[in-house]
Amino acid sequence: MAAESPVQDGVTSLTLPVLGMSCAACQLHVEQALKSAPGVTSAQVDLMRHRAHLSFDPSRINPDGIVQVIRDSGYDAVLPREGAGAAQDAPEEGRQGLKAALTLATGAVVMLLAMPVSMAEDAPMGAADHALMQLLPWLYNLPHMPLRWVLLVLTVAIAAWAGRPIYASAMRALGHGETNMNTLVGLGTAVALVSSAAETVAPWLNQPVYFDSVLLILGFLLLGKWLEGRARHSALAAIDTLAHLLPATARVRREIAGRPGEFAEVVVPLDEVHPGDLVMVLPGERFPVDAAIEQGRTTVDESMLTGESLPQERGVGDAVLAGSLNYDGAVAVRARSIGADTTLAQIARLVEAAQGSRAPMQRLADRASAIFVPVVLGLALVTFVVWLAVTHDAARAIASTVAVLVIACPCAMGLAVPAALTVAVGRAAQLGVLIKGGEALERLAGITALAMDKTGTLTQGKPELVSSTTLGGWPETSLLRMAAAVEDHSAHPLAHAVVAHAHGAGLRWAAATDVQVVPGRGLTGTVEGHECLLGNLELFADQFVPIPEAAEIAPPAAGVTRLWMTLDGKLAGYFDARDTLRARAAAFVAWLKDAGLSVTMLTGDSASAAGPIAAAAGVTDVAAGLLPADKVARIRAMQADGKRVAMVGDGINDAAALAQADAGLAMGAGAALAQEAGDALLLTDDLAGVVNAIALARATTRVMRQNLLWAAGYNVIGIPLAAGVLLPAFHLSLTPWMAAAAMAFSSVSVLGNSLRLRRWRSPI
């Protein structure tokens, strides 16, 4: 992604990769260093992606200064290239698999060779030693002293090669007065290695050696990091998939140089395409830009962008999105948006920002991570002192201390919430739901009531005129023509119905002037020299226009919305329009009720129009004739009753209600991704998006809690077990290498549990 954004109000944002982080403690150290730097206004470090997002005042600090702040904190950073991701750690992760395999293999060999020499001279042989002596008698005939020196040299060489990044990170942290996971591993292996080296140099100490433990600890740690890296890449697969949807080139129709009026198709790099270019797209190719079809007809697969599973037919004038797949027709499209301005790029930015956000549930993990390593160091010291004081056995004390140091894992705690959030946000995007971050996701999961608009939410949002009635002697075509001239300035569904009906009747009109929108009421304007009002009866009352008596005019039929029209202050006629219920609206409402949510319809339409729609959908709580402010008031009243309310609307007319609700879901956002209202944007008008957002949010919070419980429980149980607390009563303890194996797989388990969300399926 682009590294730096333009300056806005004296503040610039920057995203750059951070190298060397290994756990949540590292994340906190870097974040605190950045926040304390002069000129940095905000900073957030993403442990999943190993990158920092920050805003800063360029007059006080520059990007190079920010990199130096990170380096001074004991880590490293580089300024990313334009369009480059933060994958600088990827080569190291790729080598970890090989390092892990070689280190574990060497550790196994060392364990085998060390068995005859790891026992004290007067210690009795165990069952394992007897079995090994029978199997490999030559092993016990090897001279012990030369073998010890061979094992020491081999262990030091492999540890220096495989563990260099671990020891370097631990030393950097120590130099800055800080600790991290590498501090624990580095100290644990150093204690084991020094103890073993002392026994090799001074064999009269008659103590076991731990060469195998040193290598197995490092090997399991590297194996865990390698598996963790693979799991991270899987968790980030959704955003990576979006990034690869665009083709690298485009086939553009350009005028031939020196031959005016003659054109040819040329293949150019995507960054050479400009708005207004005519781009040719063949069957089986992906659209390189957001565009409108100018020639031809085809079927388009937008599933990777909107979650819409069925291909959509597109013809002349229809919009197509960059990254969508052209199925079966060769079309020429006129480029509208390119590069960073395309819907695909906006989706990718929103998903990436959401994946890097913090969920409120993570605060507990952050607080625990801040003190985790110092607490473990204290527990390790207590373990050593207690065992040495009680048993006077230095070998037992050293083994338990090393086990405590290496079993402790702050990584699992640090990854518990962001791993689940990252996978869930990516999965939601694949289903056409853009969740704006961890806080939004937790709010969605906690809702107890749902309020929704009618038009465009429960209904198709495409009403059609079913009748028109003239009053005062106006011809029907004149009334329809003037109504269309005014409504042509509105984006309301009823306006589209009037304009579409007028076009269908072959009418043409001059543009209306002085058009003003009265929110929740209608429009006013001047058309063909007449002052015109179009809207509901409340508009007439506001404008002091006489309202017709109910006895004089037939009431609208059930489910019909009436649009009244006046010319020069006198009633001129009205139009009746009918919208249709969405196909899955009833199933949608039934799922919400089964999920324990109360459902309310809030609509500006009349009760006679809203009632039949609500009844057909299964909604019993209906509030009709509401202005935008009235919807906000109703939501506040529901919140005052103790309900946590989600609002579903179109994101424009319902912006205030979406903002007031505990969670807002803006339906049919399409390319209008820049809108601020709403915690989730639904890229299609399918009601399944609402269900998916709520159900996936609930599933994700369950996984977050499971991860936190596992991470906490692992350390609460593992550390005492490694310390040998259960040894006197139950003869249960862990050797150092067993503790290392458990530590290595703890964070992998958290990531694996989070990855289950990639297979999450819609409940309807």
Q: Indicate which residues carry an active-site annotation.
A: 453
Give the full edge-to-edge strand order of the sheet including 12-19: 40-46, 51-56, 12-19, 76-77
H-only helix segments in 236-342: 237-243, 303-306
Instruction: List phi, psi (to 5°) of 368.
Output: -65, -40
Residue 360 host element (H or E): none
Residue with tokens 């207590």: 382
Instruction: List phi, psi (to 5°) of 494.
Output: -65, -35
Select from 694, 697, 672, 698 the least CA-distant residue to 683.
672
Long-range CB pairs of 525-532 (<8 Å, 24+ gap) are 525/485, 525/486, 525/489, 527/482, 527/485, 527/486, 528/482, 528/485, 530/482, 530/567, 530/568, 531/567, 531/568, 531/569, 532/482, 532/483, 532/486, 532/565, 532/566, 532/567
- Cβ proximity of 364 and 708 under 8 Å: yes
What are the strands, taking DSSP E only, across 593-730? 598-602, 621-623, 645-649, 663-666, 680-682
Select from 444, 463, 445 the least CA-distant residue to 603.
463
Dihedral over alpha carbons 580, 582, 585, 587 (to 10 degrees): 120
Angle between helices 144-162 and 164-175 (to 10 degrees): 70
Residue 698 host element (H or E): helix 688-723
Residue with tokens 């704006």: 436
Alpha carbon separation from 249 to 279, 345, 629 (Å, rounded): 11, 16, 49
